[in-house]
Structure 1
């Protein structure tokens, strides 16, 4: 689990730095605890290695005058209660995601750094992006669009394959839109393209892969939310053959 530990340490360091800048003005900051369940749709038929499972997410978002940083720690099937499609214990997976956008002067452009770590008994995967992002602000629609280089490393224990390489590029789109004071829509898209031969062979990926998430939250008040999300993956994670899934979750924000 060395990869996961390194990513968690990196998350703590970045979040600590964002809070420690005494000269920086924090515009908004929120911590979140999410409890949810993931239901496979056609992803289950196309990917016999996937399965329905519960998950727990701990997240933080900080917006300051220098930019923004957001990150989460996601524990999938944390109590190992889910069964896979072969009716065996599915096991737990730890995922850590980080996104840092550092303002480039007074322009809407940012230095963009992003990290994603996936670790379980079968595989480890680390993805690092470095590039530029652009702040989107159109009416009530807010978010960022980023593009950059992709460096990754990982291993897959059933085959003994592993890789570490500069592996093409990456694009992300993250948007949020308050429909009403209670309803909030969100969208996230992430893709990798021109993956290296070593990367593709290790995880049996195509040259291009993506995940796209469309979500809708209902906010009871400033602390409690209920949400539903639709996610589609193609040559991404365990969804090698594509497919969709639905997630239902309850959140507490503070």
Structure 2
């Protein structure tokens, strides 16, 4: 028993430094996710198809599942079906994995469940964290994913950021981003960056990625609300009369 306990202590001691190392990095801003907002999901799906699907696949997602967020099959065919012919097809990418590895060094990952593996906050910070880095082959780096191989596909929307480093009195380094060139969805006003519109479009994209990781969750949540309302209406009168029965001799 004592030997097992010592082994357990040793295992915990090995895990703690790794956990501490994994927690390092920039603080992640809370992503404004709302999978009940169908307009946001539709905008996110549009961004995904136009900017992400050329390299990244989503093989666990079918185009016809977009009907769950208020799109008709005709709207899907006319506006979103660029990489396939049938609405029932999966969101596969035309790029060959071998070619992608030669061109980019590694095949871009499938994004079907990226929101579940990375988390919405991470994805939100990642899409806002690109900055110019001449040392990289693509000319871009990322505050959240250092030495990232992916170029900044939304740079025309966001503009160009640069990395600023500073140290406090104790020598702790702080890394921040500064917008130096505005994009179509950002502004530079009196030397200050206004990125509200770009942040909203990124939030829409992340919102869609969260939905895509589990498309049934929208209907599941709706059914859950209906069930709770039904149980409340059903059990409330029963609870009221049961309370009266228990307390009838006191009141």
Task: Tell me if both proteins adopt one fold, taking TM over 0.5 as the criterion.
Answer: no
The TM-score, its normalising length taken from structure 1, stands at: 0.23
Higher RCO structure (Cα 8 Å, ≥6 apart): 2
Between Structure 1 and Structure 2, the one with more helix by share is 2
Larger radius of gyration: 2
